[in-house]
Chain A
Amino acid sequence: MSTVPRIVGTRLLQAVPLLIATVVVNFAIIHLAPGDPVTMMVGEGAVSADQMEALRESLGLNNPLHIQFLDYLTSVLQGDLGTSYVYHQPVSEIIASRIPATLLLMGSTYLLSTFLGLLFGIVAALRPSSLQDRVLMTIAILGYSVPTFWLGFIALMIFAVELGWLPISGMVESGLEPGSWEYWKSVLHHLVLPVAVLSLFYTGLIARLMRTSMLNSLRGDFIVTARAMGLSNWRIVLRHAVPNAITPIVTVLGLQIGLMLSGAVLTETVFGWPGLGVLTVQAVAQRDYPLLLGMFLLTSVMVIIANVLTDLVYLAINPRLRSNG
């Protein structure tokens, strides 16, 4: 079997315990959570005690715990994550409808900050302890120290409220036809501030990592050899040092993509971005457990996807892994 399917297969197999663990934790949370799910669903005192009992029976809440667990597991495997207490819609549909917004926000952020972060990290590492190094690295530390939600909020006050250059909230102006040129222009307009603010954070993180990794790489024997062979400085840096230094960055990016929802929560809240982060905060505020648990499961799935992606990128940038498959 060729390497790529084998690695993807192994990763997916390794993911099975993680998924089972998540489902178990999910199930435990449902039963630890204060409040009766039936009361949560219909509201306090809305129906008679008999009707409550009937509903409880029909939901299987009177069954022994292990039967309830099996029921839960089966429905999750069938893609049924339950019904939201608040929206009265299937959790899977609600979540699916919010995915594109978060992917757009975080995807743009990752692209921009990976490019800038690698650039700054390389430039800083070329002359360690020089002025450019110190300035860039101090900015990088500032980037991941300043609370993003606060920075976003200040940016809103300046660019949206005071100057009126950019929209205050949301993802697109209402009333535009989806898919039209005007629609995408409006989305782009709304995307500027959140992506800029969030990218400052990720750029700082990646730049710092890349600098450390580049410094290690530049000390390698192969660099000494390349210099001895008289290769030009730029060729050494771009063809030899950078490809070697980039592996840890791929690891961290993979981790961060898995942690995407954490990254999105605060920024989406500040900018009223209609994605999964805002959805989570609302679900917490409204104690909408089925929705929260669906989000919980989604994060595990994202960690698994990110793991597989990371491995595939390793293969792409390091041909040695491919040949000994």
Chain B
Amino acid sequence: MADISRVADPLAMSKGEEPMQTVPHWREAWVHFRHSRIAVLALGVLLLLGFAALLAPWLAPYSPTEVSVMDVLQSPNALHWWGTDDLGRDVYSGALYGLRISMAVGLMAGLVAAILGTIIGALAGFLGGWVDALLMRITDFILTIPVLFLALVLIPVFGSSRLIVIFVIGGLAWPSIARLVRAEFLKLRSEAFVEAARGYGARRFKLIFSEILPNTFDLVLVSTALQVPAAILIEAGLSFLGVGDPEPRSLGLMLKDAYGLLGLAWWSAVFPGLVLSALAISLNLVADAFNDAVRGHE
């Protein structure tokens, strides 16, 4: 699998930034969003998955880690809807809990990327000059780092904690967000309301925080949304390679175990993979549609 975080925002990757369209209000964006039936469907699936993840302890019929020698390798049946694995663990319960991990990792990595991207983009766009030049060089450089590969090399050095996975993924996913924030700062810096505030003698930091930054919020949100599914897939990939955190068990780790059973228990591979795919697909479709709606592309 390629570096997915490098894919999520195709526009931010092309050299030379797209000129930004005016940002419509959320209500207008929602109207635009609703036009795409597939995006609305994806949003429904995403909400369903979100609820399933939140309510996992109540929805799961078994403990996700409960080993049961009596129930080893059962195909899907009335007691075990999605069957059991070679240790007799219930696949359905495991997938529900795994979904929680995937979502949590994706959202936290997204948060890290959003914070870094906003700070770096704001500094570059507001200060300009050599700070801007330096920060943009670093941004370009980060884009050339293979995330999965770096995480793979760093994890044996720092130990395989999920927090490290989050920081490595989030710490490398910020460039597209930073570029958007920077472009918006460059645009807004000379707008009338900022000039007016400057005229009143507003301090630099007040300008950044109370005048310009709030206006970049929508862009940061949609651009971060594009990074979340990428982060989820990278975490799954790392777990599949056996370098993620083993506890609690994630979807990627379930797939790694299922891979060891190749051909013996199709259900242990198919169902967790479908959940993971449904999550990534619906996130990408929703993020994509919101991106179009907010940024006003085709």
Contact = CB atoms under 8 A, between A and B. Distances in A.
Interface of A: 18, 29, 32-34, 128-129, 134, 138, 141-142, 144-150, 153-154, 156-157, 161-162, 168, 198, 201-202, 205, 208-209, 212-213, 215, 247-248, 251-252, 255-256, 258-259, 261-263, 265-267, 269-270, 280-281, 284-285, 287, 292, 295-296, 299, 303, 307
B156 to A, nearest CB: 5
Contacts of A32: 157
Given A149-B237, A150-B277, A201-B1, A29 B157 contact: yes
Nearest to B38: A138
A212 B10 contact: yes
A48 B221 CA distance: 59
Contact of B11 (A138, A212, A284, A287): A212
Interface of B: 1-4, 6-7, 10-11, 13-15, 38, 141, 143-144, 146-149, 152-157, 229, 233, 236-237, 240-243, 255, 258-259, 262-263, 266, 269-270, 273, 276-277, 280-281, 283-285, 288, 297-298
Contacts of A146: 277, 280-281
A150 B285 CA distance: 20
B28 to A, nearest CB: 18
A290 to B, nearest CB: 12
Contacts of B6: 255-256, 259
Would you call the interface of chain B mostly helix, strand, loop, or mixed? Answer: helix
Contact of B153 (A134, A157, A269, A284): A284
Contact of A262 (B146, B259, B262): B146
A149 B285 CA distance: 20
Contacts of B241: 265-266, 269, 281, 284
B144 A255 contact: yes
A303 B147 CA distance: 13
A145 B269 contact: no
B255 A153 contact: yes
A208 B12 CA distance: 13
Contacts of A209: 10, 13-14
6 closest cross-chain pairs (CB), A and B: A262-B146, A248-B14, A148-B1, A263-B2, A150-B273, A161-B263
Nearest to B158: A32
From B38, B144, B155, name the one whose CB has the most chain A CB atoms within 10 angstroms: B144
A261 B243 CA distance: 17
A93 to B, nearest CB: 20
Contacts of B297: 212
A154 B266 CA distance: 8
A208 B236 CA distance: 24
A303 B144 contact: yes
30 contacts: A29-B153, A33-B156, A138-B38, A141-B284, A145-B233, A145-B280, A146-B281, A147-B255, A148-B1, A148-B2, A150-B273, A153-B262, A153-B269, A154-B270, A161-B263, A205-B7, A209-B13, A248-B13, A251-B13, A259-B2, A261-B149, A263-B1, A266-B240, A266-B241, A267-B1, A284-B153, A285-B242, A296-B153, A299-B149, A303-B144
A280 B152 contact: yes
Contacts of A215: 298
B298 A208 contact: no
Contacts of A129: 298
Nearest to B279: A145
Contact of B236 (A29, A147, A252): A147
B95 to A, nearest CB: 13
B146 A261 contact: yes
Given A262-B149, A299-B146, A255 B273 contact: no
Given A265-B149, A265-B237, A284-B243, 14 more contacts: A129-B298, A138-B285, A141-B285, A147-B1, A147-B277, A154-B273, A157-B262, A168-B262, A198-B1, A252-B10, A255-B13, A259-B3, A262-B2, A295-B153
B150 to A, nearest CB: 8
Nearest to B234: A262
A155 to B, nearest CB: 11
Contacts of A292: 153, 156
A211 to B, nearest CB: 8
Contacts of A270: 259
A307 B143 CA distance: 12
A144 B7 contact: yes
A16 B17 CA distance: 27
